[in-house]
Chains A and B, each alone.
Chain A
Amino acid sequence: MTIIDLVYKAQKGNEESFLSLFQKYEKDIYRMAYLYVKNKEDALDVVQETAYRAFKKINTLKNPEFFKTWLIKIAKSCATDVLRKKKKVIHLNLEQKDFIESDDHDLPLSLTLQDLLDTLDEREKSIILLKFYYGYTLKEISKIEELPLGTVKSVLYRTLAKLEKKVRKVDMYE
């Protein structure tokens, strides 16, 4: 059965179809949540809440082929809510400057999970995840994040520079 068939069935209230769909992405959602909340219990809460909200709202999904993107948006919003409750969300002021560089970016070679967890704020984590984990283009990220393309680019470059700096700093002391 295709993803689109499963979405249609889930929209009719079939929980098994919904769970089969959800199961395809739950590990990704958990890992994404973990990156935000940094602990297992809260990350599991985010997964549960995502399943709860997604099942409740699946009727509002007009294009079943965008199920994955739709689910990622819900998961992101749940993770942000958990952080907000714990008052951990800090958004940096964004420069609204457009970049002309190509889409071909690179990450420092010695990047670690701890760098991702400790160095980046929530928006930066999100853009790095969407770009390098899920493989979305910058245009797609701008739609998911509901941000201008220029802002997405500037956040991405700033984040890469930040990671590069962090890795170099660590290298210096090693």
Chain B
Amino acid sequence: MFLSNMKSLRTGIIPVLAMVLLAGLSACNKKDAGSADNEILIGHYGSLTGATATFGQSAQKGIEMAVDAINASGGVLGKKLKVLVEDDQGNPIEAQTAVTKLINKDRVVAVLGEIASSNSLAAAPVAQQNRIPMISPGSTNPKVTAVGDYIFRVCFIDPFQGLVMAKFATNTLKLKNVAVLRDIKSDYSVGLANFFVENFTKMGGTIVTDISYSQGDKDFTAQLTAIKAKNPDGIFVPGYYTEVGLLARQARKLGIKVTLLGGDGWDSSKLWEIGGDALNGCYYSNHYSVDDPSPILQKFVADYKAKYKGTSDSIPDAMAALGYDAALILADAMKRANSTRPDSVRDALAQTKGFMGVTGNTTLDENRNAVKPAVVLEVVVDAKGNGKNVFKETVSP
């Protein structure tokens, strides 16, 4: 009974066997590359593919640069740092599995990642449970570090960006009536919008309308028409670059000429390509600016340009800078702890004070969130879609 089926099975099983073999080989490769005695393994999980791929790729570039720099100057505790990177495709469950793998299979002593808060939230419990410190370079959702005492971040949190833009809109731009257009699918956008609304009204401004769109939308005419009817003097759009670019173009087409304001989700060179000159005179808050004259930052920018010359993103965005800082802060903590034991590293991380990174003077507070200044950038794009961000001002906490 069995045998009669076996023949037809055989043809099917050959490709499967071949794959299993391949998989086995790949597993071996990894093991050989991994556990040398003179290396300290750290893990990075990020969206190297998928909808927010530029975030993961930029962060990885920044981390690579930091690790190269550290290793060039003698490494940490006489050992070299080695980063193992895992792709999570921008999917929360993939992120959880990737971190489980990094911690248990590769035995990393610390984990760096993720940018998107939903992925960090899915993976953080794994790091916490295994008592491995995790540093998120760019997750701004307050809940991420609330998961436990092993979870840190080197960026500021959503409320702060909402506050920065509210301050900027009120004090610098002197706006009175602002419309809010939030991406309802993104927790990041919702969080930013809430804190903007709260602080802007507190400072005496009026929110004339508060409406939403969904990530992946291509047509924003309905929302923009509704906003136009309210005649605001500014629109706060704390979304991601893809939608913001399209939205800006459509707004200008409808004759809406007022300033658009946003958060660090705008930060991508793709924004200029998509939005073009419709974005001229718009502002967003960010973690750092390439134009900041600080020498440490200028050196970072120069090194980055030299290292990634010829690739499409040769100017470091905030995610690259934050990835860079996250890796440096981790190495700094290991040096101060004089150990790579996860619990000692955690304790040292918690005491990080006044660390001068490329994204500014960073202190980790008692909730393991970074306290640091934010910058406001103006978008300037020419008719050909070549854009740049002009440093406008720094807003301190």
Q: Do A and B come from one complex?
A: no
